[in-house]
Structure 1
């Protein structure tokens, strides 16, 4: 993985290259980012650059023996650790290394949901267990085989429980020429003992314009379509690609009509809408709710008078302006966002979509038509 293959993040690339040029590479670093920002590819590109035999001021060469092995993720001094589902056949991360390499070769931009789909999860919880920690210590105790630096990239250290404390000594006093890179999404969920021993590199969300340009170049989308997907993905390249692959993406008109049904107390129409959405499949249902959450947040900005911050595509902006002016107020927008977020949470956990969307529809009527929402409302689903 070369830096040039990573979408955007030019300032972070230059910052990392500069640490190598100036010989001030910290031995333990935490790449902190949101999903879809490219933190994992960035960590791999950084490791490849460090071990490249013919590096340039801009990137690794991509042609030396080290780079060729890095491109296929088979360099003997490149090690990965990641969450997995332990079983009688899977004790440590290396037991699913082929699946991991296959995932990286297919597309290095992925999240936990995509990774889970590649494994046999059953009803197990993913984690990085004590056996994996011991294997990490064992691997890093050996001398480097080929490169100048041994590298361990740990993806999602949030899945380390207290067993992660067994790694503290090797992180604090690593063998010579050893680099740890932790790639995380949530700083609050990382062991504080690990966090205090790393140098944090914050990788921001991708700009809308970068995601939009990528979608137009890679998938041949029109500017309007790329703008809409970029807005919906909110800087998450993974979500943007999923939207392109989805067959149900024209959410703006549907969502606006759903709000109008609530305002008009058109319960029968809502029941028919629920029948339609129940047949979309869970990914499309989740995308619809994500769009609704993003749309309502933009409406909140319009209601608050912060029009210059609104990033809605032109096709949806007029609708949002009308709703914000004639139908919604700020408290209503906040209440709707809360209901949509709860619905998204339950859809991810396999709630019955007909019951869920009918209940949310009735909540919309209460919020928009009657402008009241009972406090402490809770969902109960079959």
Structure 2
């Protein structure tokens, strides 16, 4: 992974390069940013730069033996730790390292939900990832060994917030790591990490990608039209994971599920509502959350249509008429009410509520809001 392959984030890249070039590389570095801001890709690119023996300016050479091994994720001194699903006795990252290499090679801007979807079985749809105490002890064992190549050893820990209290096991090695050993934490929710770990780390904040950075990336990498790239950039709000997912969805299918749901609720078609609930509740927690978040985005665009004359919704062109038509049967108060109920449902689903019950409750609340005469 090279820095040049990562869109934007020039300030962060300069900070990382400055730490290395000025010989101020900390024992523990923490990249903190939300989903889709390229933190993991930055960590891997920085690791490759550190291990490269022929850096060219502000990037690794991508030609030396170390670069070849690092880019293939087989360098013996570059280690990865990440959340896994505890099933059939597999509790450490090593049990999933082949899947990890494949997924990251296909998409270096991997999100947590994409990773978990890739490794879980059909009967594990609602299981959450975890970095176990066994994994923490395995990290210590790996780093206690001497460097195979005689240089630095690097441990990239992706999403350390999934360690919980198990991260206490690492406190001593974080405080006094073996010689030439460096940790790079990549977190999306720093508030969930123990303060004792944070205090031992040098933190670099990674902001979301700017609108122009993401738009230009989509045009260059995925050959999208300027219009589609612009719409996706607005919808994804700087989240490159969401943007890439949307490039795989055609204009005609992007909001089909949402469109059907609103139609069934508005027409009071209870039979179709229950069919929609049954199919949607089987999607799994993360996909349901994403669907509901997209519903809120559609409502937000409806609000713009109501209050801005000749407003053009920032959605794929095939869905513009749907958003405009929906805005005509809603008003600000109804939108606010539906928005609130959707957020409440997301809150409950995040906390393991029964998806079918939650969606049933939401659907009939939305149906009633559509036809409640007090909302005028």
TM bucket by the smaller chain? 0.7 to 0.9
Q: Distance in 2 between matches of 1:259 and 1:246?
A: 20
Match of 2:215 in 1: 212
DSSP-derived class of the 1:118 partner? helix
- Structure 1 counterpart of 2:77: 77
On the 8 A contact 1:144/1:150 being kept in 2, the answer is yes
The structure 1 residue matched to 2:169, chosen from 152, 158, 166, is 166
Query: 2:14: which partner in 1?
Result: 14
Q: CA RMSD in A?
A: 3.7
CA deviation vs aligned residue, 1:258-317 (integer Å, no higher than 9, x gap):
76887xx6424x865775786688488665533221233456678899x9xx99359688
- Per-residue CA deviations over 1:17-55 (Å, capped at 9, x if unaligned) read 121121111211111111121111100111111121111
Give ranges in structure 2 of 5+ residues lacking alignment.
none
In structure 2, the residue matched to 1:380 is none
Offset at residue 325 of structure 1 (A): 9.4
1:159–1:286 distance in 2 versus 1, CA, 3 Å: closer
1:137 aligns with 2:121: no
Verify the 8 A CA contact 1:40 1:183 in the aligned structure 2. yes
Contact kept in structure 2, 1:51 and 1:147, CA below 8 Å = no
| Contact kept? 1:157, 1:183, Cα under 8 Å | yes
| Structure 1 segment 197-276 matched on structure 2, within 5 A | 197-247=200-250, 266-268=267-269, 272=272
> Counterparts of 2:345 and 2:15 in 1: how far apart (Å)?
40
Matched, 1:333 2:353: no
Q: 2:79–2:154: 8 Å Cα contact kept in structure 1? A: yes
| Structure 1: distance between partners of 2:144 and 2:251 | 51
Q: Which of 349, 359, 362 in structure 2 is aligned with 1:360?
A: 362
Please tell me whether residue 194 in structure 1 is matched to residue 197 in structure 2: yes
- Decide whether aligned partners of structure 1 residues 93 and 361 sit closer, same or farther in structure 2, where only a CA change above 3 A counts: closer
Tell me the residue number matched to 2:154: 151
**What SS does the aligned partner of 2:119 have?**
coil
Name the CA distance, whole Å, in 2 between partners of 1:38 and 1:52.
Answer: 21
- Cα distance in 2 for partners of 1:337, 1:94 equals 42
Whether the aligned pair in 1 keeps the contact of 2:264 and 2:272 (CA below 8 Å) is no
Unaligned runs of 5+ residues in structure 1 are 374-382
Aligned counterpart, 1:24: 24
TM-score by length of 1: 0.80
Q: Does the Cα contact within 8 Å between 1:35 and 1:236 map onto a contact in 2?
A: yes
* CA deviations over 1:227-283 (Å, ceiling 9, x no partner): 222222222222222222235755569868976887xx6424x86577578668848
Alignment partners' CA distance in 1, 2:147 and 2:194: 28
> Higher mean Cα deviation, 7-16 or 273-282?
273-282
- Normalising to structure 2: TM-score of the pair? 0.81
Within 1, Cα distance between the matches of 2:96 and 2:187?
Answer: 20
Contact 2:313 2:324 in 1 (8 A): no
* Between 225-234 and 146-155, the greater mean CA deviation after superposition: 225-234
Match of 1:376 in 2: none
Q: 2:314 aligns with which of 288, 309, 312?
A: 312
Distance between the aligned counterparts of 1:218 and 1:277, measured in 2?
36
Change (3 A) 1:161 1:286: closer
